[in-house]
Structure 1
Amino acid sequence: MSLPSARSSASTPPHAPRTLDAGLLLVVLAVAFESMAVGTVLPRVAEDLRGLPLYGWASSAFLLSSLFGAVAFGALSDRRGLARGAALCLAVFALGLLVAGLAPSMLVFVLGRLVQGFGAGGLGALPFAVISTRYPEASRAPMLAAVSGAWLLPALVGPLVASLIADAWSWRAVFWGLIPALALVAPLCVLPLRGGERAAPGTAERPLLWPALGLTLAAGALVEGLRREDALSLPLTLLGVAGVLLASRPLFPAGMWRLAPGLPAMLMVRGWAAFGLLGANAFLPLALHELRGLSLTQAGWLLSVGGATWTLGSWAQAGLERRLGPGSRPARIRLGMVGVSVGLLVTALAALGELPLGAAYAGWFVAAFGMGVGYNSNSLLALLSVGADASGRLSGQLANIEVLMTAVAAGVGGALLARAQPLSRAFALAFLVTLLGSLVTWVAAARVGKRGG
């Protein structure tokens, strides 16, 4: 999916307001903190609201609605301007935080997550739309680097801070606490975006709205079909699979699901790597809490290790790029994906009690480091495989396949927790599914350097 339409650099101001710089970065920090923090407190939420059967939906609802939210933001911004799009997404995100924080039941909490996701999807696309339309060309690369860097601090401390807040006060404070921050950030971000040109109606995201909505609903049907145990289970699952395949056709390159060489394989490396690592991340804190007796703070430390080592892996791949050159990218992708699978296996065995608990930290370190090396090498190879006129669409495809596959993985894990007994068996199956998904990247990674035909 492409980003909202960009005007030529000739129509951009010579310097964006400093308030816009601050507003954009603070919005990214808020969304990043929420994204990194929630996984840590979900075990407490499920316990407090007696909502284990809907555990997977707490992640899947957020992710799937964010996929559609990003596309809807693009359409609204093209038609009504970036200021209105940003204001709406901030308001919706805040409303979702409020609903989740006040939730009297797990079903209402999932609804809050659904609302949050819609707003977060638009806010995630906002920096790229703003940078491409409101910043001069010379300022775009530094601002993109700043946006990427704004994810680092939440990745490192978000899980730990969230667990400390939940232990000291309540898991609800993790959600409520962001609302005042958003109220302060909103004027900094929205007011400088008022005015400016708008794209002609229907020129950018509008044609993709229906396929994106279809993909979101189909993936939701798949997740719900896997979770249910009644007569609707099989029909919903089959309908979901068919819908995902059908809705994917206008959104992704042909041959993606069959791992066609070239760009389709690169997208599948991204998608299945997210299925493996981020899918396991969705239920790993719960597994450590239920099976190994870790507190939320201790589980938060593990997720913080993952955030730090993913960043370390990203730096390592940048160093390898400089030393070994572009020709080493396919090999780095393969090596990184092997690290993801091996790390996942060690982490799963430790979480299940087959290895010492310390092995979980070592395994997660290896998996996240491999992700940083292989995932970033794959993204670089993909972005440099298309022309500048197609880079916006490809960026959307890379983001959306990650969201889709993570949501499905979280849904599958949640379905197993809801249906399989005892919990140790459910977690073992959930880890097995994510591990098998990560192995698909080995096949896809072997095809990224080949030409599609």
Structure 2
Amino acid sequence: MPRSVPAPTLESAGIFHRAYLLVTLGACALVFLAAFESLAVTTIMPVVSRELDGASLYALAFAGPLATGVIGMVAAGNWSDRRGPVGPLYASVAMFVLGLLIAGTAAVMPALVAGRLVQGLGGGAMTVALYVVIARVYPPELHPKIFAAFSAAWVIPSLVGPFAAGLVAQWLSWHWVFLGVVGLVVPALLMIVPALRGLHGTQGGVPAGAAPEGMSTPGPRKSSGSGRLAWAALAALAVLGLNLSAGLPVAGGIVAVAAVVVALIAVRPLVPRGTLTARRGLPSVILTRGLASAAFFGAEVYLPYLLVERYDFSPTLAGLTLTGGAVAWAAGSAVQGRLGPRLDHRRAVRIGAALVLGAVVLVLVTTVLSWPAAVVIIAWVFAGAGMGLMYARLSVMTLALSSRENEGFNSSAMSISDSLGGALSLATTGIIFAAFPTSAASFSGVFALTALIGVAAVAVAPRVAGRR
């Protein structure tokens, strides 16, 4: 099937070549707006909760979009494999905009949460649809560079998003943090439209990229589209149950364990065979993505808290730790994009996983031994660099190990692993943090758990490729 844009010679082509310029700008803009919205909501939610008297639904406003996002990912993956990515992309952007409109016009907290749920559904589907568009439009040689651009599009909002959202909420209203994004989403989508012509259907499973020898490419499990949606809904409910279990004083522990078990059972039909057992090749690529997200994000959310609580940092100064990690993530992603095939995928993933583990261990040791706060700040720069190195390469490997028949399924599996890994880790660390009587023990428990997850990521990372 011919590409929707003319393919220039690979030596001269880049993601900003005139053949790819509009789709690159449009796709990165959509990623940027989704990231900005996520970070902006974190900034304004205390104001929203106070104004709408919604303290009881505060946690659900964050956990809900993660849960519905899993359903959106599966739906977009199924649809993309059947009909191509065009329909799923249009529908997901429409759902994302609808969620923004509902939340932006909300007068009561339940309405805002409903908007966030719709927004999460559209955002999850949009991520998968964009991945399939990337697989169809760009040659494999450009995949590291476009995913590096996606990483930068995620990082930039972490530098400007919270501040910009605070200014909008202060000068205008928090409603415009949602409504203002609507006017930017449509132009971003319009830039992609020319590249979408001719991307319907799978064309008999023409490979998206040649899989290296020894790398397994298991297809999706034998289950119907509706069956996968049912499993996705069950996984979403398990994530919500785990988040809410901390509020149950007696049965909370039982509910938490049950939620984790249900989530693991529900995710099996949504990922390639052998993912939970770390089979070599694509299953380990998907698993490594989830473990890396769980280790990194599970620790990161507690770093500002640690610096404020133990080292008397101001919230603004403590937040600079996350900024340092975000900048290092962008730098690491840019480095892997420039190196291209000179840095093979397996080595990039192994180095990245080792950097994340080393950083989390340093944070744990600093917490236990009361080392200077500078150790934490420097460590997180290395953690961000590690994520930048391996995150984009895991995306590239997922597409390289996919055919046009299962690009949607595999892209949704990667996104689900990413989302569920982070969500389960955040919920579990929240339970651990609340379980200890002192803050020192609580922080140590959180970082010990994320260090163990990091060990698992390092152990699985070499299995992303076959034996040499």
TM-score, normalised via structure 1 length: 0.76
More displaced stretch, 392-401 vs 315-324:
315-324
Alignment match, 2:186: 186
More displaced stretch, 112-121 vs 211-220:
112-121
Which letter does structure 2 place at the counterpart of 1:177? V
Where do 5+ consecutive residues of structure 2 fail to align? 7-17, 203-222
Which letter does structure 1 place at the counterpart of 2:372? P
The verdict on how the C-alpha distance between 1:224 and 1:41 changes in structure 2, with shifts beyond 3 A counting, is same
In the aligned structure 1, how far is the partner of 2:120 from the partner of 2:138?
32
Alignment match, 2:209: none
Alignment match, 2:124: 121
The verdict on how the C-alpha distance between 1:266 and 1:126 changes in structure 2, with shifts beyond 3 A counting, is closer
Which one of the candidate residues 230, 239, 242 is aligned to 1:222? 242
Tell whether 2:170 aligns with 1:162.
Answer: no
In the aligned structure 2, how far is the partner of 1:55 from the partner of 1:427?
23
In the aligned structure 1, how far is the partner of 2:225 from the partner of 2:171?
37
Which one of the candidate residues 293, 314, 331 is aligned to 1:312? 331
Cα-to-partner distance string for 1:299-335 (whole Å, 9 max, x where unaligned): 33222211211122223334555435x4xx4344333
Residue pair 1:62, 1:117 contacting (<8 A) in 2 also: yes
In the aligned structure 2, how far is the partner of 1:41 from the partner of 1:337?
33
Alignment match, 1:86: 93
Which one of the candidate residues 252, 269, 279 is aligned to 1:260? 279
Which letter does structure 1 place at the counterpart of 2:441? R
Q: Report the CA distance between 1:207 and its aligned residue.
A: 4.7
Where do 5+ consecutive residues of structure 1 fail to align? 1-7
Residue pair 2:95, 2:118 contacting (<8 A) in 1 also: no
The verdict on how the C-alpha distance between 1:253 and 1:13 changes in structure 2, with shifts beyond 3 A counting, is closer
The verdict on how the C-alpha distance between 1:449 and 1:158 changes in structure 2, with shifts beyond 3 A counting, is closer
SS of the residue aligned with 2:463?
Answer: coil
Cα-to-partner distance string for 1:140-171 (whole Å, 9 max, x where unaligned): 98799567525515513534541465389559
Alignment match, 2:443: 427
Which one of the candidate residues 33, 36, 55 is aligned to 1:33? 36
Which one of the candidate residues 389, 397, 400 is aligned to 2:416? 400
Which one of the candidate residues 68, 78, 82 is aligned to 2:71? 68
Residue pair 1:56, 1:411 contacting (<8 A) in 2 also: no
Q: Report the CA distance between 1:273 and its aligned residue.
A: 0.9
In the aligned structure 2, how far is the partner of 1:341 from the partner of 1:147?
23
For the aligned residue pairs, the C-alpha RMSD in angstroms reads: 4.4
Which letter does structure 2 place at the counterpart of 1:181? V
Q: Report the CA distance between 1:205 and its aligned residue.
A: 5.0
Cα-to-partner distance string for 1:26-66 (whole Å, 9 max, x where unaligned): 33221121234555677888999999998865543332221
In the aligned structure 1, how far is the partner of 2:119 from the partner of 2:126?
10
Q: Report the CA distance between 1:411 and its aligned residue.
A: 0.9
Which letter does structure 1 place at the counterpart of 2:385? F
Alignment match, 2:357: 341
Alignment match, 2:296: 277
More displaced stretch, 376-385 vs 395-404:
376-385
Tell whether 2:365 aligns with 1:365.
Answer: no
Q: Report the CA distance between 1:125 and its aligned residue.
A: 3.1
Residue pair 2:272, 2:413 contacting (<8 A) in 1 also: no
Which letter does structure 2 place at the counterpart of 1:212? A
Q: Report the CA distance between 1:430 and its aligned residue.
A: 1.7
The verdict on how the C-alpha distance between 1:288 and 1:434 changes in structure 2, with shifts beyond 3 A counting, is same
The verdict on how the C-alpha distance between 1:353 and 1:44 changes in structure 2, with shifts beyond 3 A counting, is farther
The verdict on how the C-alpha distance between 1:238 and 1:446 changes in structure 2, with shifts beyond 3 A counting, is same
Residue pair 2:68, 2:236 contacting (<8 A) in 1 also: yes
In the aligned structure 2, how far is the partner of 1:374 from the partner of 1:144?
10
Percent of aligned pairs with the same residue? 25
In the aligned structure 1, how far is the partner of 2:380 from the partner of 2:102?
34
Cα-to-partner distance string for 1:336-359 (whole Å, 9 max, x where unaligned): 212111112223455678222222
Which letter does structure 2 place at the counterpart of 1:182? V
The verdict on how the C-alpha distance between 1:52 and 1:337 changes in structure 2, with shifts beyond 3 A counting, is farther
Q: Report the CA distance between 1:91 and its aligned residue.
A: 0.9
Residue pair 2:144, 2:337 contacting (<8 A) in 1 also: no
Q: Report the CA distance between 1:366 and its aligned residue.
A: 1.0
Residue pair 2:132, 2:408 contacting (<8 A) in 1 also: no
In the aligned structure 2, how far is the partner of 1:121 from the partner of 1:175?
22
Matches within 5 A, 1:410-449: 410-449=426-465
SS of the residue aligned with 1:253?
Answer: coil
Tell whether 2:259 aligns with 1:243.
Answer: no
Alignment match, 2:219: none
In the aligned structure 1, how far is the partner of 2:286 from the partner of 2:363?
25
